[in-house]
Chain A
Amino acid sequence: MAGANVSVTGGVAIKQGEEFVLQGQETGAALFGFDADHNATNRGLEIPDISVSQIRRNQIAGDRASDEIALRFPNSQREVTMQTSDGPRRVDVLTTDRSAIESKVGRTSADASTMRQVNKDRELLENGSVTSVSWEFRRSAQTGRVGPTPRLQAELEAAGIEIRIVD
């Protein structure tokens, strides 16, 4: 693996091959999969008032909330799947420094589906796949409610998941 010394960082000579030099150092992050390919964009979704089921309205509200979160974190990834022993976990927003953010709209209880998400997030935290997990709750325009139920709050805290209420 021959190459010329092209830069010196803190007493370390870095040898880069011809191909890499041609691509330019500034693209290093992209080559290693750490750049703006999954950029979050503001899709500017608006929730229609009529002819939309409640479930669909909730989905749209959730997507919009996730988009807003992603906009706070440049180059973050939206809706990315990470594997856990219990199956895939769809992460709403994954930041470049590996913080996972789950977006919830309205009041959220510790039902079976939600608890499965909690346990998957706990696993991702414990195995080092992510450095932190936070769940962001926003008030539902339909119900006027926001946040986890007391039981879910306790489960999230026990799992080491940060709770943020955005109101």
Chain B
Amino acid sequence: MSEYDVFQPKLAKPCHLAERKEAKVAYEWYVDSVSERIEILKDFVAKCDYPILEGRDLLPVLNDFFFGVCAEIKGQEKPGPLEFSLASDINMYIGNLLMQKFDNLHWAFHTFGKSDINYQSPVIMGFSKVKNKKYSREFFGPIGGYAIRIVQGKPKEDDLFLKLYDSCVKFA
């Protein structure tokens, strides 16, 4: 049996419903946690007998691993803390990978547009090849949605994590 610490978001409500101050505290906690969470993720993946490859090569492994975890609860109403925490960790891993490769990319506290899906959430910004100055990306939403699809019994999407990463490289 392997142990895994579920990530503590430090916010008792979704980011966009939080007061600015508490959302900012949660954001800072999130960014401060990135390095530790990536190590926790890798450690857990390794203990589950998946190979720990470097950089982009780890993404298909993470997809295999994540699909396996979510498929274990197939048929339940929705994913739980474990699955969403892993989605959060993988979001951090992909974001960190991008920032290691491109100095201009960075975590940002999203504060524009209350209707924006990422309002008051951690996002990646600094993309240089887009005309939209507010362009931002995050992967927790797409990966969380993937978790829901898996639990619903939908098939594995082999290229999803690579797609998330590569589509950011294109605009970095």
Listed in ascending order, the chain A residues whose CB lies under 8 Å from chain B are 1, 3, 5, 8-17, 19-20, 23, 25, 27-35, 37, 77, 79-88, 90, 94, 96-98, 126-131
Contacts and interface: CB of A to CB of B under 8 A. Distances in A.
Contacts of A131: 142, 145-146, 149, 157
For the residues of A in contact with B, the DSSP-based class is mixed
19 contacts: A9-B80, A14-B6, A14-B81, A29-B78, A31-B12, A32-B81, A34-B144, A37-B16, A82-B117, A83-B118, A83-B134, A85-B127, A85-B130, A88-B134, A94-B117, A97-B154, A98-B142, A127-B164, A129-B141
A83 B160 contact: no
Given A1-B5, A1-B8, A16-B5, 19 more contacts: A11-B2, A12-B1, A12-B2, A14-B82, A19-B8, A23-B12, A25-B80, A29-B84, A32-B9, A32-B144, A33-B16, A33-B141, A34-B144, A80-B117, A83-B136, A85-B129, A85-B131, A128-B139, A131-B146
Nearest to A33: B14
B3 A83 contact: no
Nearest to A22: B12
Interface in B68-87: 69, 72-73, 78-82, 84-85, 87
A84 B115 CA distance: 15
Contacts of B131: 85-87
B72 A10 contact: yes
Contacts of A35: 14
B167 A126 contact: yes
A20 B2 contact: no
Interface of B: 1-6, 8-17, 36, 40, 48, 69, 72-73, 78-82, 84-85, 87-88, 113, 115-118, 121, 127, 129-132, 134-137, 139-142, 144-146, 148-149, 152, 154, 157, 160, 163-164, 167-168, 171
